Every structure is written in C-alpha cells, then in structure tokens.
C-alpha cells in the first residue's frame, strides 16, 4: 500500500547521457532538459560553478583556477565524480517542486554498445547517487531505433546509424536484440577537430571548438549541394598571435570533413559485410536509418546511399531519437524488461 502511495509521487524519467548533450524526458511531460554535458569547476575550492549551457558559454574564456570539463568521453563516464554532480543537478532541476524522498525517480538511461561491465556499474552508481531509486540501462542504438518507431521486435533486419558527439554506432537489430554492430570514435566532436586542424594547417589560424562547431553547422556538408555558401572563421593567427578573420566556403569545410565522412561510410559497409544475408536483404529493401546530431550534416545521407547502394533516411528530429526512445520504454514495461542490460550492481 505504501509502495503505491510512494509511486504516485515518483517521477519516471529517461536520460540520454550524451558526450555533447544531456537530455531528460519526464513521463507525461516530454523532454524537460536539453543542455550541454559540460561542467565548470573552481579548482581551488572544488566547487561546481556552472552546469550545462552556462558552463559551455565559459569554454575557452576562463582564468586558470576555473576548469570547464566534459565528464563523458565517447558516451562513457570518464570523470565519475563530476558526472554524478552533473546528473544530480539535472535531476534536481526536474524536481524543482521538491517532493523529497517521495520523488526519487525510476530512470531509463542509454549507453553505447561498446560498454564494459565496469562502465555499466559506473553509470548505475552515478544515477543512483544522483537521486534515482532504480535504473534501467539500455543500448543507445536500441533506444534510437525505438524512438524512430522502427519495428525492432519483428524478425526483420533494421539498420540504425547513430552519429552522436563522441561516437558513431552502426547496429543491425532484429527480434529486440542487436545482431551485429560496429563502433568508432569518429563522430560530431571529431568533425569539429577536423575543422580546427584544417584551419591551422591551411589558414594558419587557431580556432576554438565552439567556433568550429558553428562553422560545421552553418556551411558543413558531405557533398556539393550545388550552392556556394560562406561563413566567417575567426581566431588567432599562428604567426603573429593577433586576431584574424577569413571567409571559408562549403568547399573548404567539405575538404576538412572528408576523412571523417569516409570513415563513417566505411564503418557502415563493414557492418553490412558481416550481417547475415537474410537481414541484409531486409536492409536493402527497407533502407538505413540515421539518428543523432551528426546525421544532420548536409548530404551525408546521400553519400551513404550512393556508397552502399541502399536507401537512407534521416529520422524525424534525429537529435531527440534516443531520448524519445527512453520515453516510449517508460510506457512499455514489457519491452523495457526485454531489452534492459543485466545490472552490474547485483552480484
């Protein structure tokens, strides 16, 4: 009886703990948090100064005693203590009405495919320490496929390519399980680094990560889109150390991104090569689904389709496919139990 009363006041939430962004979905409300996975810390006092958008705005602009850090690398917690504090901040933000112990939530959270038992335990411990009462850990491509309404429970080959900030994962899903998969750290963040490196090598210009990301979004493309676009690139001159601005075109950025685009295409083709023929036939007929922020690079779907000779489509609102998948799982307890990874905390 008391359990029913407690549950009445509890929230059920889904978390997409991404390298670049953290999103939180609350059952009955939808997505309530969408902020960068960035934390600013005062190294003198070990105090958390800012989290999310406020912390990201500090990148590259802090004095020596303030460190702006990303506690996740490749979708995996690399700094447990900071990740726990970040999660606690976001969960408390969800519970601003403050129901104390009655409001400890049930949490569904996604993790990359290439995750170890130790890393699963780190995620579970961080979420529990941040205030959750129970946690369900799901593979990220699975939640992305569910969020895009793919028929993952059917005996049909579904291929999803989730291109996030820290990693790209290619998964073939059938009968509620991942049959074959490949993963690489080449994703959105690596594309930003490609642009930073290109700026240094070609234009003798040091630019920051935020500037590189902005350029990628504004003029980045995987193929020639038939219309020349330009955007100012601002940074510090390698030789003089003084501020300088140049205009870059879509052709420049396409050249900068080519290595990463080719690597993602090769990863997809390699995954297809190891996929059972019956599932390959399904994928050839049904096509490949792209999710994640990296899939929004203009023309990427066309490059993949031409290289693999398979239809490719981008999910509706690819940025939120994973978090929407956690929301669907909160409504479908049977499917949630079927695809949840074994807990690393219970031994």
Kindly state whether residues 29 and 108 are assigned to the same domain.
yes
Whether 238 and 117 share a structural domain: no
- 219 domain residue, yes or no: yes
283 shares its domain with 294: yes
> Does pLDDT of 201 surpass 70?
yes
Structure tokens at 234: 């601002």
Q: What pLDDT shows up at residue 96?
A: 67
- 103 and 241 fall within a common domain: no
Note whether 9 and 137 are same-domain residues: yes
pLDDT at 225 over 80: yes
pLDDT band, residue 8 (cuts 50/70/90): very low
- Which of 203, 229, 256 lies at the terminal end of a domain, its last residue? 256
- In terms of domains, do 98 and 25 share one? yes
Q: Which two tokens stand for residue 189?
A: 């963040």
pLDDT band at 344 (very low <50, low <70, confident <90, very high): confident
Could you say which of 230, 256, 282 is where a domain stops? 256
> Model confidence at 345, in pLDDT bands (50, 70, 90)?
confident
Q: In the predicted model, is pLDDT for residue 9 greater than 60?
A: no
Q: What pLDDT shows up at residue 275?
A: 96
Q: Are 250 and 205 in a shared domain?
A: yes
Question: Buried b / exposed e across 130-152, counting CB within 10 Å, b at 16+?
Answer: bbbeebbbbbbbbbbbbbbebeb
| 101 and 112 in a common domain | yes
Examine the domain organization and report whether 162 and 283 are in the same domain.
yes
Q: Over the stretch 26-46, which tens digit does the pLDDT of each residue have?
A: 999 999 999 999 999 999 998
pLDDT tens, position by position, 252-289: 999 999 999 999 999 999 999 999 999 999 999 999 99
195 and 182 part of one domain: no
- pLDDT(319) > 90: yes
Residues 189-227 as b or e (16 or more Cβ within 10 Å = b): bbbbebbbebbeeebebebbeebbbbbbeebbbbbeeee
CATH number at residue 299: 3.30.420.40
Closest CA to 221 of 193, 189, 257: 257
Is pLDDT at 3 greater than 70 in this prediction?
A: no
Q: 109 lies in a domain?
A: yes
Residue 347 confidence class, pLDDT cut points 50, 70, 90: low
pLDDT digits (tens, 9 = 90+) for 54-111: 999 998 889 999 999 999 988 888 999 899 989 988 988 887 644 444 468 899 999 9
**Based on the domain organization, do 164 and 302 belong to the same domain?**
yes
Structural domain contains residue 313: yes
Higher pLDDT, 242 or 85: 242
Closest-CA residue to 130 (of 103, 164, 97, 112)? 103
Q: Say if residue 91 is in the same domain as residue 219.
A: no
The enclosing domain of 212 has a CATH number of 3.90.640.10
Mean pLDDT within 176-199: 96
Q: Is residue 11 part of a domain?
A: yes
Determine, yes or no, domain membership for 277. Answer: yes
Mean pLDDT of the residues in the chain: 92
Q: What is the mean pLDDT of residues 143-150?
A: 96
Counting the structural domains of the chain, the total is 3
Print burial letters for 97-128: b (CB count within 10 Å at least 16), e (below 16). eeeeeebbbbbbbbbbbbbeeebbebbbbbbb
Q: Residue 131: which pLDDT band, with cuts at 50, 70 and 90? A: confident
pLDDT of residue 1: 38
Has residue 76 been placed in a domain?
Answer: no
Residue 216 belongs to domain spanning: 188-256
237, part of any domain: yes
Place of tokens 């980045």: 220
Residue 167 lies in a domain: yes
Q: HEC states along the chain? A: CHHHHHHHHCCEEEEEECCCEEEEEECCCEEEEEEECCEEEECCCCEEEEECHHHHCCCCCCCCCEEEECCEECCEECCHHHHHHHHHHHHHHHCCCCCHHHHCCEEEEEECCCCCHHHHHHHHHHHHHCCCCEEEEEEHHHHHHHHCCCCCCCCCCEEEEEECCCCEEEEEEECCEEEEEEEECCCHHHHHHHHHHHHHHHHCEECCHHHHHHHHHHHCECCCCCCCCEEEEEEEECCCCCEEEEEEEHHHHHHHHHHHHHHHHHHHHHHHHHCCHHHHHHHHHHCEEEECHHHHCECHHHHHHHHHCCCEEECCCHHHHHHHHHHHHHHCHHHHHHHCCCCCCCC
pLDDT at site 220 = 97
316 or 131, higher pLDDT:
316
């Amino acid at each position: 009886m008391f359990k029913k009363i407690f549950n009445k006041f509890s929230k059920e939430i889904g978390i997409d703990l991404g390298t670049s962004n953290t999103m939180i979905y609350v059952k009955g409300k939808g997505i309530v948090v969408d902020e960068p996975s960035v934390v600013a810390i005062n190294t003198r006092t070990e105090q958390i100064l800012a989290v999310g958008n406020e912390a990201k705005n500090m990148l590259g602009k802090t004095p020596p005693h303030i460190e702006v850090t990303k506690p996740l690398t490749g979708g995996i917690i690399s700094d447990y203590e900071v990740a726990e504090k970040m999660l606690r901040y976001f969960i408390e933000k969800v519970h601003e009405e403050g129901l104390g112990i009655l409001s400890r939530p049930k949490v569904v959270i996604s993790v990359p495919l290439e995750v170890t038992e130790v890393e699963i335990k780190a995620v579970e411990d961080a979420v529990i320490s941040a205030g959750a009462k129970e946690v369900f850990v799901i593979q990220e491509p699975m939640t992305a496929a569910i969020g895009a309404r793919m028929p993952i429970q059917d005996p049909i080959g579904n291929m999803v390519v989730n291109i996030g900030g820290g990693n790209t994962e290619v998964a073939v899903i059938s009968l509620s399980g991942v049959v074959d998969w490949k993963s690489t750290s080449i994703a959105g963040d690596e594309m930003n680094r490609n642009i930073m490196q290109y700026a240094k090598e070609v234009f003798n210009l040091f630019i920051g990560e935020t500037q590189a990301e902005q350029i990628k979004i504004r003029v980045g493309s995987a193929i020639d889109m038939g219309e020349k676009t330009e955007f100012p690139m601002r940074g510090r001159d390698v030789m003089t150390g003084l501020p300088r601005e140049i205009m870059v075109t879509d052709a420049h950025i396409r050249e900068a991104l080519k290595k990463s685009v080719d690597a993602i295409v090769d990863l997809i083709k390699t995954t297809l090569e190891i996929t059972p023929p019956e599932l390959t036939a399904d994928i050839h007929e049904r096509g490949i689904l792209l999710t994640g922020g990296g899939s929004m690079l203009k023309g990427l779907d066309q490059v993949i389709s031409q290289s693999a000779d398979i239809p490719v489509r981008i999910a509706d609102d690819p940025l939120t496919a994973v978090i929407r998948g956690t929301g669907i799982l909160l409504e479908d307890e049977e499917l949630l139990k079927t695809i949840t990874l074994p807990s690393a905390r219970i031994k």
